[in-house]
Structure 1
């Protein structure tokens, strides 16, 4: 297929890696889904609830027919009606949460809105329509939350990942605060907000004013998204394609195709590339042209996006993309650019979150404050924080070794003291005792030393840490025909709410009832007597 589709040959390694990754993820998903299915069938081996089938579909990508096939092989019935009900509920929830979709439901058949927001952030307009609780009204009064439609507006309506503008609509003693702007139709803008003072009527002349600071912050983040997109393709490869974005006044969030986490060095390279474009302070140019002419310029178009016959091409720095959003006049207006997060959001899709301008500066200053606080705590200059941490880590490791040595010496001395508690049962040295302050490693080490000294022996050692008990059992080789360490340790563990296992000569166990330990250890001698 390489002759017909040259990009397949060009990106063969990328395609192969993606396929292998998808195959591995599929088997992981299948395994997890089967675990959930098996767990659900423990409660009812003959019926699979619809909500479980929906969870398998929605969370793990199990198609309903796959679940039905698996269940059919096991003689299990699937609650399809329950699955359909869960699917309807999810769709209704998503529909209710989608404000943009709610705007589409507003009944409007009037004139279109003229957008003036590329050139200006304020202007005079007339009220074409008002909405309160989803219904058309002729007036909005003080305190009411509603939607206002103007004949012309500087407010940008949410589109292409950029959030809608905020600001005010006012006249005389009336003040309507706009909290968001959404499209009712492709060319009809709905201004969402609340009447703070006075009232608004259909047909009135008003003054529309966009919140300048919010718009400028949003423009910085939108413009840098274009530059970052190009930088990603330069650093990671031309396989990078935009899969989604969210541009707000606070930050930009950009989703794109890539099969692996981005390394620290790659992030730094992306930041250097973007900030270099910012420092060039080149002018932004926007041109309206036919789609065919835009394609001829080589401007980036989003795969799967539907474009009209006439499009807007944005040239910002060395980036050229089709975009209808609002942008800075020059790249230098973006200010500092800083990536603050990188993560995976779906199979083969990564996400970058970044800041610009004042928020980016505040983020860097916060990091600087953290370094300063660390330097003060470490009593070292800021430039030597890493060196001081490395020194402390080395010291910590040395102290850990020293503590381990002391614990070994303590355990050894305790082991010698325990020899006084040994019982001789028909030639077998039996010892069951608690070793204060020991961990699992010390129990095993002490066990080995005691077995060497006692020769023919059956030993149980215990250590208590809060509400947990650790046990170690050891049996000399000449006794293993009659006594197994696993049986011995489980005899004690079963009395303190635990269990364990291991080899015939050494076994470990845990428990959760320290109060029963003394009695459990005291029963060891009789247990051994019964087996020899």
Structure 2
């Protein structure tokens, strides 16, 4: 068989199944759509589950794809072995109630033996032990030698997950040769050695499991196959693992050049090269599909991969950010199949560079914290809490923590650490489970028979329509009357349904018999517009003809704000750079809220430039055009797509001259001049690498000006200033006066505290030659506590004295501890002591051997904690 590159293998496979009547679909995004059960797409069939269940009609009964996938359970193993990887591509051909075993097996055999010219004598087939039908088809129809057929049990060759569709499967193995074998006489398919590698799995979904292991044959059985592209490439290229496949190896070579190391020269370096190679592939594709770094969910997976890659860069001696440079090679090797990588290259590199630079900052803090913890403790085991803090807050991987500790003869409480990690995962899983609930889920079933609504609201604010369904209290009804809260559907409507960040319309529907107030409009997955309403007068019946009239003033305000969102994005890209992408938006009648990718707070100059540019385009009175066109034409036009969104063959494009061109299904004004004015209200952070701007347009700008003027006048009166323009100077003066008074008050408190020091020392108790002082001081802050501790430490240095003082000021409680030189000589460490005392209150803290401070969580436990000082200290001395 002939050496074949990974990209050619992908194209050969997809073209082959196109020739067999399959529709080639592009890879679905890695972010699951309408599926809260998955964090990231992890198999070829995952994004098509609803096709198999019948919830959604597939575009054709025969489909083939090459699907991007991420699997995360073995992240810690990636790099340690050459087998594990996070990102991979899954080739698949699917039949939704069309062909079955005969065709699936025949085409698989043809593709391997005819197209790829694999030697038949090196191919082996496994089947489910009871699937005689599959055995006969493979041997009699396809001509497979019966000696190359292997029957395996349910665990290996029967696909099912609880109840639902299931069935036997057939796996195709490739014999890599004796040199990869274990040498045992029993070596064969199913052996743990590396000789026989499973390449392709054909699942024959032919039964329905009721959950009690009762299997009923399906009327229309399905075919679901999956073949790892990288694994196939390993076979066709004669290499041992995915890291030696051509496209992946080219990425690794780039990393090797940066690090000046050679793959295969040193196992430790090889681990790091494999980690970086896999993780930069994964993160490049994840960011391209809209995943952004965060501390939870898929964003946490992304952050974890980037930090792990950056750390292994350090292990290779790379002491500067470098991952963004490798992105160019990842894109070059994959853009023939995934052109969106090139389109998003600036964005991808910006996100990775920002995250890597932040990691370099946090990991240095992590090193400092870990070293401080080591210096402050006599224990030989680092607590699970400290290890988790290092990992979760500072991105300090547990294996790095273990490595550093082992060099100092210490270990970590891994059981407790794992328990905390598991607790975090369970919390995240629960939040995912509760996320994204459909507000109209209760109504979806009762509207299953309703045809898709015709939307006529782009061109008009009212429409004559027929009532197709009425829902009250979750059930279909034929008629409703005054006072009823209802949900209803129309065959056509002028009301825009909430989508794309634009809120749904409100308004009224009327006829001779009723007046209905529409409070909100949404739509379900089938494209049925759902009007939430209350019957204000009269009665409404299913089948009635009504006049549906949108609240015109509200809609126009929404349209102004939606067009403003487009102008805002274009202005941000002009001022900040092409890395800016929409990350979310909310457009209503009051304001526009726009989330976008950027990596630092905007300066006053940048905000002013953005605002001025939008207003300049408003004054230019540019025509706003909305039209539908084929997606390829839209891309040639240069229209921007929503980050990570999947579109159909025909899209709606909104253009504002040459300034802005975007895919958009929302409603817009027809000229920029109709925005009137544009004013930024706020700019803030939403998540790492995501900023948010809120702005207003039109009459809302006027309202904002009125409100601001009123606020200035009221503030001037309160500050006893005649002219509002004098407010800045007056505020600065008042602030300076308050700071001076605060200094005077704190100075007085410190003096009072020092005056009380004598009586506090008089109450000292002695334990093993060390005098112990404890006190609870109301009205005493951290500065006063520090002053008292300094005085005890400096004036009594020759005497073995330890003081633990608690102070409460303005509702905040603080602990401070000091140990004189004589006390330290006996083994006392103030940092260790105050931490142990603070933990009795639910707080935490630490510091140096001579002075340390800690926070208090539960003030009711301060007395109990101070009483425990003697016992805690006696264990230290």
TM-score of the pair, normalised by structure 2: 0.45
Report if the CA contact (8 A) 1:107-1:136 is conserved: no
1:6-405 matches, within 5 Å, as 14=350, 16-20=352-356, 31-32=391-392, 53-57=425-429, 90=433, 94-95=436-437, 97-99=438-440, 102-103=443-444, 106-110=447-451, 113-184=453-524, 188-316=528-656, 318-380=659-721, 381-402=723-744
| Secondary structure at 1:216 match in 2 | helix
Question: What runs of 5+ residues in structure 1 fail to find an aligned partner?
Answer: 60-86, 524-530
Change (3 A) 1:267 1:192: same
Equivalent residue, structure 2, for 1:76: none
Kindly state the Cα deviation for residue 402 of structure 1 after the two structures are TM-superposed. 5.0
Equivalent-residue separation in structure 2 for 1:483 and 1:189 (angstroms): 75
Q: In the alignment, is the contact (CA less than 8 A) between 1:435 and 1:443 conserved in 2?
A: no
Cα pair 1:107 1:135 within 8 Å, conserved: no
Give the SS at the match of 1:119.
Answer: coil
Deviations 1:232-272 (A, max 9, x none): 21122111222332222232222322233334433332222
* C-alpha distance 255-431 of structure 1, shift in aligned 2 (>3 A): closer
Provide the C-alpha distance between the structure 1 equivalents of 2:704 and 2:442, rounded to a whole number of angstroms: 35
SS where residue 149 of structure 1 aligns? Answer: strand
Within the candidate set 779, 785, 802, 1:440 is matched to 785
Give the drift of 1:20: 0.8
Residues 481 and 540 in structure 2, CA contact (< 8 A), matched pair in contact too: yes
Task: Give the Cα separation in 2 of the matches to 1:51 and 1:471.
Answer: 32
| Contact persistence 1:418–1:433 (CA under 8 A) | no
Q: Is the 8 A contact 1:339 1:355 kept in 2?
A: yes
Does the aligned pair in 2 maintain the 1:459–1:475 contact within 8 Å? yes
Instruction: Report how many residues are paired.
Output: 479
Change in CA separation of 1:402 and 1:113 when aligned onto 2, cut-off 3 Å: closer
Q: Is the 8 A contact 1:40 1:52 kept in 2?
A: no
Contact map agreement 1:239 1:258 (CA 8 A) in 2: yes
Measure how far apart 1:295 and its partner are.
2.8
Report which stretch shifted further, 163-172 or 121-130: 121-130
> C-alpha separation between the residues in 1 aligned to 2:344 and 2:563?
31
How many Å apart are 1:52 and its aligned residue?
6.2
Tell me the distance in 1 between the aligned counterparts of 2:441 and 2:824: 75
Alpha-carbon distance between aligned partners in 2 of 1:512 and 1:340, rounded to the nearest angstrom: 43
CA shift at 1:403, angstroms? Answer: 5.2
Q: 1:105 to 1:446 in 2, by over 3 A?
A: same
What TM-score does the superposition give when structure 1 sets the normalisation length? 0.69
> Does the Cα contact within 8 Å between 2:494 and 2:548 map onto a contact in 1?
yes
Give 1:17 deviation, angstroms.
1.4
**SS of the counterpart of 2:613?**
helix
Between the aligned partners of 1:270 and 1:211, the Cα distance in structure 2 is 31
Q: Is the 8 A contact 1:457 1:475 kept in 2?
A: yes
Contact 2:785 2:807 in 1 (8 A): no
Q: Cα distance, 1:469 vs. partner?
A: 9.2
Aligned-pair distance for 1:107?
A: 2.3
Q: 1:159 to 1:457 in 2, by over 3 A?
A: closer
* Stretch deviating more after TM superposition (462-471 or 148-157): 462-471
Structure scoring higher RCO (CA < 8 A, sep ≥ 6) equals: 1
Change (3 A) 1:103 1:254: farther
The change in CA–CA distance for 1:238 and 1:201 in structure 2 (over 3 A counts) is same
2:14 alignment partner in structure 1: none
Higher deviation after alignment, 242-251 or 4-13: 4-13
Kept after mapping to 2: 8 A contact 1:421/1:431: no
Report if the CA contact (8 A) 2:754-2:788 is conserved: no
Distance 2:478 2:747 in 1: 85
Does the 8 Å contact 1:106/1:134 carry over to 2? no
Counterparts of 2:827 and 2:389, CA distance in 1: 45
Work out the CA distance in 2 between the residues paired with 1:114 and 1:451: 87
Q: What secondary structure sits across from 1:299 in the alignment?
A: coil
Once superposed, what is the RMSD of the aligned Cα atoms? 5.4
Query: 2: CA distance between counterparts of 1:338 and 1:135?
Result: 46
8 Å CA contact 1:475, 1:504 repeated in 2: no
**Structure 1 residues 412 and 133: CA distance shift in structure 2, 3 A:** closer
Q: Post-superposition shift, 1:160? A: 2.2
- Quote the residue 1:62 is aligned against: none
Distance 1:251 1:42, change over 3 A: same
237-246 vs 129-138, which moves further: 129-138
Distance in 2 separating the partners of 1:230 and 1:362 = 26
Deviates more, 1:256-265 or 1:199-208: 256-265
Contact 2:560 2:674 in 1 (8 A): yes
Question: Which residue of structure 2 lines up, in the alignment, with residue 65 of structure 1?
Answer: none
Q: Secondary structure at the match of 1:198?
A: strand
Q: Which ranges of structure 2 fall in alignment gaps of 5 or more residues?
A: 1-328, 336-341, 367-387, 399-411, 871-876
The separation in 2 between residues aligned to 1:486 and 1:159, in whole angstroms, is: 59
In 1, the alpha carbon distance for the partners of 2:734 and 2:673 equals 43
Name which of structure 1's ranges 438-447 and 386-395 shifts more when overlaid on structure 2: 438-447
Q: Deviations over 1:359-381 (max 9, x none)?
A: 34334443443333333333333
Mapped to 2, the partners of 1:58 and 1:304 lie a distance apart of: 24
Q: Structure 2 CA distance, aligned partners of 1:243 and 1:169?
A: 35
Per mean C-alpha deviation after superposition, the further-off stretch among 283-292 and 201-210 is: 283-292
Residues of 2 paired with 1:483 and 1:48: CA distance? 32
Contact 1:253 1:353 (C-alpha < 8 Å) held by counterparts: yes
Q: Distance in 1 between matches of 2:502 and 2:458?
A: 14
Shift of 1:226: 0.9
Q: Which range moves more in the overlay, 134-143 or 237-246?
A: 134-143
